[in-house]
Chain A
Amino acid sequence: MIGASLGAAAYERASEISAILAVANPVDDRRLARLSSRPDVVLALSGIGISFGGVKALSDVDLEVEVGEIRAVIGPNGAGKSSLINIISGLYHADRGRIAIDGQSFSQVPASRLARLGVARTFQNLALFGGLSVRNNIACGRVHTRRASFVEHIAGLPRARSEDAGIAEKTDQIVAFLHLESVADRLVATLPYGLQKRVELARALVAEPKLLLLDEPMAGMTATEKAEMAGFVRAARDRHGVTIILIEHDIGVVMGLSDRVAVLDYGRKIADGTPAEVRADPAVIRAYIGTAEGENGEDIR
């Protein structure tokens, strides 16, 4: 399903990956681990399944993400997109399947170690710290790099101060990168929705993750805001080289922004390929026509 644009070598590698991912026994897990430890695969999911009560939110989903790509995951409401991101970030525990992040294989990703594994994320519904300023919200994104204890902070000892200074500098860079200077010292809760979404992106980017998970970063935005946000997402990849998984309902944005697109429907992956391939895929067209077409402006053509 991988496009010719990736070249024959890439195609071979990709089919090798999916052949390995399709089966799940200990030997193959080890092969999966070896494969995913290759520097060009940041994330590999194999046979992921999760259900809530009777609802199968995901069944047997495979996905592999290469370094530096923008990998879109699309699908109708309730298709399981957020569940997938929640499994990758350790907030949900998959019933079946394995997750390999940057060469380390897990059946359950430890959420508390996520940042140190090089993964950052944003949430579909805003998850900011309302009582902190924009700058402090962003600075929190680097908390995983801190070592100084609370005593060092209270006493203002050198290690605490140098950590603060280093983080302040990184925060300033991200504030400038995302054009947040004019609101940097405001309480985040007082910002309009579109800007809050941007602060959440900033908090994720300041961690300098290898892999960035964006769950509908443009939902509820105006067309201008969306275009702006799309520009930031692309710039984050181009300038900082971060690999991105992007969930988005606006098909126009997705097609313009992503290198490859995976399509989920009722918890199954029904298509995976370049935007052009996915757009032409009959199964995808059926899935989108089957659900009220254009509901979220998600006209596939």
Chain B
Amino acid sequence: MAVQALDGTRVPIDWQRLAMPAVLIVVGYGLIPAYASSYLVEAILLPFLALSLAAVGLNLLTGYCGQLSLGSSAFMAVGAFAAYNFNLRIDGLPLPATMILAGISAAGIGVVFGLPSLRLRGFYLAVSTLAAQFFVQWALTKFGWFSNYNPSGVISAPHLIVAGFPLDGATGRYLLSVTTVIVLTAVVWRLVNSATGRNFIAVRDNETAARVIGVPVLRTKLLAFAISSFIIGVAGVLWAFTYLRTVEPAGFNLDRSFQILFIIIIGGLASMRGAFLGAAFIVVFPLLLSRIGAFAFGDLFDSGVLDMSQRIVLGALIIIFLIAEPSGLSALFDRLKRRIG
């Protein structure tokens, strides 16, 4: 089969390329909303989507542009609290606009904490992004205004309405989440395959050569921080509004930053698919572990043991991945596909 192109020639339809998006749309907008249990949505899909988006954002900065950051959780917090305040303080602001403004707020903070990247690299940069982590958490706890003077600093999700449709139920929140993730992932996908994305990779692979051929290195790094933080900020909104529904600043701690970093390491640096594979693994793995643990050890396997064994297995996995498969699950996936196909 073929379609008529604009210039009149007939081009064959590339079924292979259309297959993936088609399956995603049927599953994402058809099967899941129709059949998924609310447990599947609330406990697995919603955190999976928010973490995937955060990982897509961090991957842009760390995987593509080579700037190591431990501040992801801070940018999620900025997104979440900014969205809460925009929604609270501007009457009738549509939800999509709230999310965009929250992303822009996170981007602004991201650029500020990206400034050290102009001088620092690798480990030193990572340490300096910790400043973002501590500063943001401190500011959100210290100034009650951010949580509208809630005594424990907790914010709760507002009513979620888009174009008159209420989206407060599990399915509604899922649809909001999946749509946001698809749109932003498409944007990032276009970006990394554009000249700007190649500038990111050039800066990552050889900063000196990049500068000499005319890549605006400083601007490129700050742009990476801005866009990455925007995406992570919106992921924070999803985390707070669609998954948890109530969050406090302490929910966005260093552990979360590490979790997102682990997602892109396990999934595969500089791979869009890797962000999703890694997030799926991070969300599903503890659930599997607790099932297996309970099955094997019964009551001995309480939450303390679960937590500890989870950390141990995860730590070991990251070391194994870094040594044996630095390109992560995404590369494993490719190899598997080649073997089968």
Contact = CB atoms under 8 A, between A and B. Distances in A.
A102 B204 CA distance: 31
B194 A203 contact: no
B12 interface: no
A111 B210 CA distance: 10
Interface in A85-143: 89-91, 111-116, 120-121, 123, 127-132, 136, 139-141, 143
A164 interface: yes
Chain B residues touching A, range: 20 to 34
A231 interface: no
A103 B313 CA distance: 64
Nearest to B186: A154
Interface stretch (B14-22, B68-76, B212-220, B316-324): B212-220
Contact of B209 (A128, A148, A156): A128
Contact of A127 (B191, B209, B215): B209
Contacts of B211: 111-112
Most chain B beta carbons < 10 A, residue from A111, A156, A167: A111
A198 to B, nearest CB: 16
Contacts of A130: 205
A132 B202 contact: yes
A114 B202 contact: no
B303 interface: no
Contacts of A153: 190-191, 194-196
Report whether over half of chain B's contact residues are helix, strand or loop; otherwise say mixed.
Answer: helix
B195 A143 contact: yes
Given A127-B206, A131-B204, A140-B198, A156 B212 contact: no
A143 B214 contact: yes
B213 A156 contact: no
B214 A114 contact: yes
A132 B194 contact: no
B205 A163 contact: no
Nearest to A206: B213
Which of A115, A143, A160 has most B Cβ within 10 Å? A143
A129 B195 contact: no
A42 B201 CA distance: 32
B265 interface: no
A30 interface: no
A116 B214 contact: yes
B101 interface: no
B129 to A, nearest CB: 22
Candidate in B190, B199, B206, B214 with the most chain A CB atoms within 10 angstroms: B214
B78 to A, nearest CB: 21
B331 to A, nearest CB: 13
A144 interface: yes
A235 B213 CA distance: 22
Contact of B194 (A90, A112, A115, A154): A154
Given A116-B214, A143-B214, A131 B209 contact: no
Contacts of A148: 195
B187 interface: yes
B261 interface: no
A167 B194 CA distance: 13
Contacts of A164: 195
B205 A150 contact: no
B143 to A, nearest CB: 33
A91 B204 contact: no
A113 B215 CA distance: 10
Interface of A: 89-91, 111-116, 120-121, 123, 127-132, 136, 139-141, 143-144, 146, 148, 150, 153-154, 156, 160, 163-164, 167, 203, 207
8 contacts: A112-B211, A115-B212, A129-B201, A129-B206, A129-B210, A132-B202, A153-B196, A156-B190
The 8 closest A-B pairs by CB, nearest first: A144-B214, A115-B214, A153-B194, A127-B209, A129-B205, A150-B196, A154-B190, A127-B206
Given A112-B216, A143-B195, A150-B223, 5 more contacts: A111-B212, A112-B211, A128-B205, A140-B199, A156-B190
Interface of B: 187, 190-191, 194-196, 198-199, 201-202, 204-206, 208-217, 223, 227, 270
